[in-house]
C-alpha cells in the first residue's frame, strides 16, 4: 500500500518525497487521533525502558535481585524496597523488572519470528497461487485447527535430551527461554500468512507488478521488492497484536511450570511461586499479574490504533 501511494516516477524525485511526507504525516495524525493507542504506546515504552534499566537500578540501589535474605521475607513497601520483598527476601521491584525483560523479549522475538515465517509463506501462496497456494493454505488451516494450548504444553514438556541436541545446548540455563520462542513461533505464523496471502493476491494483479514481470524481474524480486512493501500494513498490525498474545501464552506455560525456568525470572513463573502464598502475601501475585494484564491490554490498544491509522480505505478517502 504505502510504496505505491508514495511512489510513482511521473512526478520525479521531489514529487515522491513530498508524497511520502504527506502520507506519513497523514498516518501519524490518524494514529494520534486514537488516544488509547497513543497512551498505550507511551506506557509500553516506559515499561520497556524500566525493564532494560534494571541493571542500572540494581547498581544504584545497591541491592542484588538474586540475593536471598530469609530475615527480610515478606517485607512491605519501603524506601529500600519500593514493592517489598518476596518469600525469599528478594527485592520484588527488581525481580519484576527482570521478569519484564524476559517476558517482553519472548513476546517481541516470538512475534517477529512468527511474522517472518507467515510473511514468506503468505507471499509464496499469494504470488504463485495454484497448487502451491492450496498446499500452503491447507497447511495453515491444519495448524489453526490444532488445539493451541494443549499443543504448546506437549511441546514444552518434551525432553530435549531425547532429541539428540548437543549437551552444551540442553544444559544452557537459557534453553527454556529459547524453547518457548521456538514453539510459539512454530504455531503463531498463521494469522500473518493468511493476511499476507490475501493482500498478495490483490497486489500481484496491479499494473506495477505486471510491468516488472514484463521487464523480466524474477519471482523473488517481485515478491520482496514490489509486493511486500504494499502488504506491510497488515503485517505490522498483526505482529503488534500478537506480542500481547505471546506474552500471555508464555505466562501460562511458565505458570504451569513448563515455560521459563528459575533462576530466570518471568512474570509467569513469579505467579507460580506466589500461588501458594496468595492468602498470606497476595502482593506477590498481584504485581506480576497486573504487569501481564496491563502489557497485554496496551499491545491490543496499540494494535487497534495502528489498524485504524494504516487502513487503506480510510487513507484513500
Condensed to tens digits (0 to 9), the pLDDT of residues 266-307 reads 888 888 878 888 888 888 889 999 999 999 999 999 988 888
Backbone angles phi, psi at 312, to 5 degrees: -65, -30
As a whole number of angstroms, the distance between CA 299 and CA 243 comes to 7
Residue 90: helix, strand or coil by DSSP? coil
Distances (CA, A) of 191 to 46, 117, 140: 28, 11, 9
Least Cα distance to 261 among 153, 180, 160 occurs for: 180
Residues with Cβ within 8 Å of 266's Cβ and at least 6 positions away in sequence, in order, are 99, 102, 103, 106, 250, 251, 254, 259, 260
Are the C-beta atoms of residues 98 and 83 closer than 8 Å to each other?
Answer: no
Enter the C-alpha cell of residue 273. 511461586
Enter the C-alpha cell of residue 292. 501481564
Give residue 118's pLDDT: 93
Lookup result for grid cell 506491510: 232
List per-block mean pLDDT (blocks of 10 residues) for the chain, which spans 317 residues.
Answer: 43 56 74 88 94 91 84 84 86 91 92 93 90 92 88 82 74 80 89 91 86 83 86 88 88 83 84 83 89 92 85 55
Give residue 310's pLDDT: 77
Q: Which tens digits make up the pLDDT trace of 212-245? A: 888 888 888 888 888 888 888 889 888 988 998 8
Enter the C-alpha cell of residue 181. 520462542
Give residue 168's pLDDT: 73
Give residue 14's pLDDT: 57
**CATH fold for the domain made of 34-315:** MetI-like fold (1.10.3720)
As a whole number of angstroms, the distance between CA 212 and CA 231 comes to 17
Give residue 261's pLDDT: 80
Enter the C-alpha cell of residue 235. 503485517
pTM, to two decimals: 0.83
How far, in whole angstroms, is CA 192 from its chain's centroid?
12
As a whole number of angstroms, the distance between CA 276 and CA 225 comes to 54
Give residue 2's pLDDT: 43
Amino acid at each position: 500500500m504505502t510504496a505505491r501511494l508514495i511512489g510513482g516516477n511521473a512526478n520525479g524525485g521531489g514529487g515522491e518525497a513530498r508524497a511520502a511526507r504527506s502520507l506519513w504525516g497523514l498516518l501519524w495524525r490518524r494514529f494520534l487521533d486514537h488516544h488509547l493507542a497513543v497512551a498505550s504506546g507511551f506506557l509500553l515504552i516506559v515499561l520497556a525502558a524500566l525493564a532494560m534499566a534494571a541493571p542500572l537500578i540494581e547498581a544504584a540501589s545497591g541491592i542484588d535481585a538474586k540475593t536471598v535474605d530469609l530475615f527480610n521475607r515478606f517485607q512491605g513497601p519501603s524506601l529500600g524496597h519500593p514493592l517489598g520483598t518476596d518469600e525469599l527476601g528478594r527485592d520484588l521491584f527488581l525481580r519484576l523488572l527482570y521478569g519484564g525483560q524476559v517476558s517482553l523479549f519472548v513476546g517481541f522475538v516470538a512475534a517477529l519470528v512468527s511474522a517472518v515465517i507467515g510473511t514468506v509463506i503468505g507471499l509464496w501462496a499469494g504470488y504463485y497461487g495454484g497448487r502451491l497456494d492450496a498446499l500452503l493454505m491447507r497447511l495453515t488451516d491444519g495448524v489453526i485447527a490444532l488445539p493451541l494450548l494443549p499443543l504448546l504444553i506437549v511441546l514444552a514438556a518434551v525432553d530435549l535430551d531425547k532429541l539428540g541436541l548437543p549437551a552444551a545446548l540442553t544444559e544452557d540455563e537459557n534453553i527454556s527461554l529459547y524453547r518457548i520462542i521456538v514453539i510459539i513461533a512454530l504455531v503463531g505464523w498463521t494469522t500473518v500468512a493468511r493476511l499476507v496471502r490475501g493482500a498478495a493476491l490483490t497486489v500481484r494483479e496491479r499494473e506495477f507488478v505486471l510491468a516488472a514481470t514484463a521487464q523480466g524481474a524474477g519471482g523473488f524480486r517481485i515478491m520482496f521488492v514490489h509486493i511486500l512493501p504494499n502488504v506491510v500494513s497488515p503485517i505490522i498490525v498483526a505482529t503488534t497484536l500478537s506480542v500481547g498474545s505471546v506474552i500471555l501464552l508464555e505466562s501460562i506455560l511458565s505458570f504451569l511450570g513448563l515455560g521459563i525456568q528459575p533462576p530466570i525470572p518471568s512474570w509467569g513463573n513469579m505467579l507460580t511461586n506466589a500461588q501458594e502464598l496468595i492468602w498470606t502475601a497476595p502482593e506477590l501475585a498481584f504485581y506480576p499479574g497486573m504487569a501481564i494484564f496491563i502489557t497485554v491490554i496496551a499491545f491490543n490498544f496499540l494494535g487497534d490504533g495502528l489498524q485504524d491509522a494504516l487502513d487503506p480505505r480510510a487513507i484513500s478517502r
